[in-house]
Structure 1
Amino acid sequence: MTAMSHSDPAASALYDKVVFLDEFNAATLDRSKWNVEGPAFWVNNEVQAYVDSAETIRLLPAGSVDGASGGVLELRTVYQPGFKTPSGRLTDFVSGRIDTRDKFDFTHGRAAARVRMPALEGVWPAFWLLGNGEWPDTGEIDILEYVGEKDWTGVAVHGPGYSGDTPLVNKYFFPPETDATDWHVYAVEWDEEKIIFTIDDRVIYRVTREMVGVYGDWKFDTPKHMILNLALGGEYPRKTNAIDKPGYGLPAAAAELIQREGVAIQIDWVKVTQAG
């Protein structure tokens, strides 16, 4: 596989003021920037439970991860048989999810992350922006979604009248020399009239205010916070692989691998820039 650049290609010179940056060079997650989700949270029929643990959210030091520019955040899913959530739901897997809600929200600009995926069908990691009110009324921008088919990743926009199985969605298929298991910079540029998705500075999808207006109201002039998570199974993998057992959208081979050694997504850095 090809080695990608360590730097952010900064797709547009318009967004030249850094307003958020985490390069994950500390020993532990910076809690002044990030919240950690706990097991009471459950959506999309996902198989795992989220926990705040060094097993599921860990930082690896600079020089320890091939191809990274410095320290690396790992969100991991690990085997924990018989884990019981506060609602009484039982699962054998726990994982990590973090967000910046109430710590860093922004309206318009460029959000980017350098990420590397595992080659494992049935995982569902994502990097996305979410509004702070009721879903989907304050809008959602999915910068990166992945279901373990390493030749493609997805992007999407959700709002009232275009949520769930949104028509505003696109898949990007990588060229033959690379795939989602390599390092790539996934980004969105977002303003009052359009939302532009890029991978490694290459435009892969554009959503305009007019496109959204066909389905419902434009809900992208309100603050959004960032989310990084690693789900297992759930609605999107299930609609891709039609697997119901051993987990909803989670194949047996994936469950066995996680049971043996765990699986992670790796994040080199996260950066938000706006017009200076």
Structure 2
Amino acid sequence: MTLPRLLPVAVALLGLACDPAANRVNRPNTPPPTPHQPNTDWELVWQDEFDGAAGTPPSSDRWVHDVGGHGWGNEQLEFNTDRTENTAHDGEGHLVITARQERYGNRDYTSGRIRTQGRYEPLYGRIEARIQLPVGRGIWPAFWMLGANIAAVDWPECGEIDIMEYRGQLPSILRGSLHGPGYSAGNNIGQEYVVSGKRLNEGFHIYAVEWEPDRIRWFLDDTMYMEVTPARLPAGARWVFDSPQFIILNVAVGGTFVGPVGRDTVFPQQMKVDYVRVYARPT
């Protein structure tokens, strides 16, 4: 079997970010967010600007759909499809992932989930996306990465980098997380960042990590709000972020991180992605 066919089984065991809603990781000794301008020596090596015609699916040269409705290890409520009703260009330079309230595949909701597995799997670099998030209790959008060796070593040994995840009922709070052996699920290494002013659903923001050997930094726009090195791992834990990872975009409905869907949550809910770009250091 190919890696793309194996992934849904593996992800069903690991889940998406696997952090119970009541188990936020707040590190008292973490320095406050600081303004940061990305280094000028990064060079663009991969991108999707989502300039396709309205109603067309994302490029099959860049993305693969995850299809299924088994809960993804997190008690998620949606069935992820490869339909353009759930994942499509809007004709205005965006890819739109739409969660809908509809009966499909023995589920009450549908949504989309796409990945670059087998298409593009970077090792290190600045990985960023410009995104406008949805809003509503029980809506769980994410921009994240998994180790390309997941079929061989399983999760969490493959490593998981959550560049951005967010609870739709808390639209001013962003979370970044790192999962590996000995620091996964509710025991991940992560941090929440509270924004001031406009909420995250009210406009586009750039979510990014700068991933280097022995160091990963998380950013919202030009602000770095978390940095993790092997020194922050639990005693005896291994750093597993030295092999390629693939990129994932999705919108989950319900699940352990966000809880049930609110009665006042209005569907459809949409995550708009302006672009995904990967930068590398010149060699």
Task: Give 1:142 shift.
Answer: 0.3
Instruction: Find the partner of 2:245 among 216, 221, 224.
Output: 224
Distance 1:54 1:215 in 2: 46
Task: Give 1:166 shift.
Answer: 2.6
Residue 252 of structure 1 corresponds to which residue in structure 2? 263
Q: Structure 1 residues 20-29 or 101-110, which shifts more?
A: 20-29
2:129·2:206 contact (CA, 8 Å) conserved in 1? yes
Instruction: Find the partner of 2:126 among 110, 120, 128.
Output: 110
Distance 2:236 2:254 in 1: 28
SS in 1 for 2:231: helix
Distance 2:67 2:82 in 1: 6
2:144·2:161 contact (CA, 8 Å) conserved in 1? yes
Task: Give 1:60 shift.
Answer: 1.0
Instruction: Find the partner of 2:115 among 93, 96, 99.
Output: 99
Task: Give 1:252 shift.
Answer: 1.9
Task: Give 1:115 shift.
Answer: 0.5
Distance 2:236 2:190 in 1: 13
Whether 1:202 aligns to 2:202 is no
Moved over 4 A (4+): none
1:41·1:50 contact (CA, 8 Å) conserved in 2? no
Whether 1:131 aligns to 2:160 is no
Task: Give 1:214 shift.
Answer: 3.0
TM-score if structure 1 supplies the norm length?
0.82
Instruction: Output the amino acid matched with 2:127.
Output: A
Task: Give 1:13 shift.
Answer: 2.1
1:115·1:184 contact (CA, 8 Å) conserved in 2? yes
Task: Give 1:215 shift.
Answer: 5.8
SS in 1 for 2:114: strand
Instruction: Find the partner of 1:51 among 35, 58, 81.
Output: 81
How many residues get paired? 237
Distance 2:69 2:50 in 1: 26
SS in 2 for 1:250: coil
Residue 74 of structure 1 corresponds to which residue in structure 2? 96
Distance 1:41 1:201 in 2: 37
Q: How does 1:121-270 map to 2 (within 5 A)?
A: 121-132=137-148, 133=150, 134-148=154-168, 149-175=170-196, 177-181=197-201, 182-212=203-233, 214=235, 216-238=237-259, 249-254=260-265, 257-258=266-267, 262-270=268-276
SS in 2 for 1:252: coil
Instruction: Output the amino acid matched with 2:52.
Output: A
TM-score if structure 2 supplies the norm length?
0.80
Whether 1:38 aligns to 2:67 is yes
Residue 13 of structure 1 corresponds to which residue in structure 2? 40
Distance 1:50 1:17 in 2: 34
Instruction: Output the amino acid matched with 1:268.
Output: D
1:157·1:166 contact (CA, 8 Å) conserved in 2? no
1:156·1:166 contact (CA, 8 Å) conserved in 2? no
Instruction: Output the amino acid matched with 2:40.
Output: A
Q: Structure 1 residues 125-134 or 37-46, which shifts more?
A: 37-46
> Structure 1 pair 13/212, CA: closer, same or farther in 2 (3 Å)?
farther
SS in 2 for 1:165: helix
Residue 60 of structure 1 corresponds to which residue in structure 2? 90
2:147·2:158 contact (CA, 8 Å) conserved in 1? yes
Task: Give 1:167 shift.
Answer: 4.0
Query: Which structure 2 segments of 5+ residues have no match?
Result: 1-35
Whether 1:272 aligns to 2:278 is yes
Residue 67 of structure 1 corresponds to which residue in structure 2? none
Instruction: Output the amino acid matched with 1:266.
Output: K
Residue 22 of structure 2 corresponds to which residue in structure 1? none
2:69·2:77 contact (CA, 8 Å) conserved in 1? no
Instruction: Output the amino acid matched with 1:51.
Output: T
**How far does the alpha carbon of each residue in 1:168-225 deviate from its partner, in whole angstroms, 9 at most, with x for none?**
11111001x2221121000000111211000111101111111125361000001100
Residue 26 of structure 2 corresponds to which residue in structure 1? none
> Structure 1 pair 236/78, CA: closer, same or farther in 2 (3 Å)?
same
